[in-house]
Amino acid sequence: MPTMLTRITGLTAGVLFAAAAQAEAPMVKEQAPGYYRTMLGSFEITALSDGTVKLPVDKLLLNTTEEHVHNTLADNFLSAPLDTSVNGYLINTGNHLVLVDTGAGSLFGPTLGKLVEHLKASGYEPADVDEIYITHMHPDHVGGLISDGEIVFPNAIVRASVEDQNFWLNEDNLKAADEGSKGFFKGAMASLNPYVESGQFKPFDKDQELVPGISAVSASGHTPGHSLYKVKSGDNTLMLWGDLIHVAAVQFPQPDIAIQFDVNSEQAVESRAQAFADAQETGYWVGSAHLSFPGLGHLKSADQGYEFIPANYQGGVGDTETGK
Ligand SMILES: [Zn+2]
């Protein structure tokens, strides 16, 4: 017969053992599959994460000083190099499944290239996508079009502005580019050319509606043909900004701060100023490739410049009262 003391000791040992076993569980260190769903009128919007990449934003931003960038990041509990989201957006209009930007694929290192995996986790297949809209032809937006040189989206028409096509898919521009920039041209060509060859690439010229409810709006500067996409269902509007902004903490208060990736930073600053003013005035939703995932929210004016108000988390996209 065990005494009361041995019974208690046995119990204590059990509790201690359980605690020790818990502490020794290997850490998982991964996020849930990177997708976030919401509705815009009758359209279903799925934000897709391609992952994050650490950017030395203190060295990359223009029209400012490293000290100002460090101080502003510190005020926002951030530091450089800064974990920077790369987001794409999938829009199910009911008639079309439209993907805006495709992530980096294999072009930007191992922390990116997860968009297709997350698209699948969100309940769709690459073959379901029938339209792909490219904001601009930088590698972190077009790399996901291909995998090992093969087309990833077999049933999609890929659209981008003709200005970006003429700039990035031009062999003469590649030859004339300095060594540091050649990779951008090569990345664009490797990603787009398979679709050009298969007849799936169809550039557009100037602002226009591409499928009912989704229109291209030119906002050049970051690249010659950099385009925003306006998504409209009923009275609800979402403007997808592409690379109109890279470092939220620094550029919302001061939209005149630019980034070295801009082909024409003066023009990029003008496009940003116009888009920010428009978003603040109209109060529509915005979504952007490099805002912290899911990168959806609203803009309001602040003491200095603007403030971004991220979307309030929704556990489901149905009616919150009935769950349907
Ligand atoms: Zn980008």
Q: Report the separation in Å between the CA atom of 42 and the middle of ligand 1, taken as the mean of its atom positions.
A: 29
Query: What is the distance in A from the centroid of ligand 1 to the CA of 289?
Result: 6
Q: What is the DSSP letter of 204?
A: B
Residues 6+ apart with CB under 8 A from 207: 215, 216, 217, 218
Confidence label for 276 from pLDDT (cuts 50, 70 and 90): very high
pLDDT of residue 165: 98
Question: How far is ligand 1, taken at its centre, from the CA of residue 62, in Å?
Answer: 16
Tell me how far the alpha carbon of residue 16 lies from the centroid of ligand 1, in angstroms. Answer: 50
Q: Which residues surround ligand 1, an ion (CB under 5 A)?
A: 140, 243
Ligand 1 centroid distance, CA of 20 (Å): 45
Selection from 107, 178, 102, 108 nearest residue 136 by Cα? 102
Query: Average pLDDT, stretch 230-246?
Result: 98
How close is the Cα of 80 to the center of ligand 1, in Å? 17
* Per-residue pLDDT at 15 exceeds 60: no
- Per-residue tokens: 25: 């569980």
Band the pLDDT of 319: cuts 50, 70, 90: low
CA dihedral 134, 135, 141, 143 (to 10 degrees): 30
50, 140 contact by CB (below 8 A): yes
Q: What are the pLDDT digits (tens) for 83-120?
A: 999 999 999 999 999 999 999 999 999 999 999 999 99
User: Region 219-228: what's the mean pLDDT?
Assistant: 97
Quote the pLDDT of residue 75: 98
Q: Is the dihedral of CA 293, 295, 300, 302 positive or negative?
A: positive
DSSP 143: G
Ligand 1 centroid–CA 65 distance in Å is 22
In the predicted structure, residue 291 carries a pLDDT above the cut 70 = yes
Say if residue 61's pLDDT is above 90: yes
Task: Report the separation in Å between the CA atom of 30 and the middle of ligand 1, taken as the mean of its atom positions.
Answer: 23
- Provide φ and ψ at 258, rounded to 5°: -110, -175
- In this prediction, residues 184-205 reach a mean pLDDT of 98
Regarding predicted confidence, which is higher, 3 or 176?
176
State how far the alpha carbon of 158 is from the alpha carbons of 108, 135, 154, 204, 250, in Å. 21, 11, 10, 10, 33
Sign (positive/negative) of CA torsion 290, 138, 34, 45?
positive
| Ligand 1 center–CA 306 separation, angstroms | 21
Complete DSSP assignment for 229-240: EEEEETTEEEEE
At residue 232, the pLDDT reads 98
Q: What is the pLDDT of residue 316?
A: 80
**pLDDT (0 to 100) of residue 317:** 81
Please give the distance, rounded to the nearest whole angstrom, from the Cα atom of residue 143 to the centre of ligand 1.
11
Cα-to-centroid distance, 312 and ligand 1 (Å): 24
Ligand 1 center to residue 103 CA distance, Å? Answer: 9
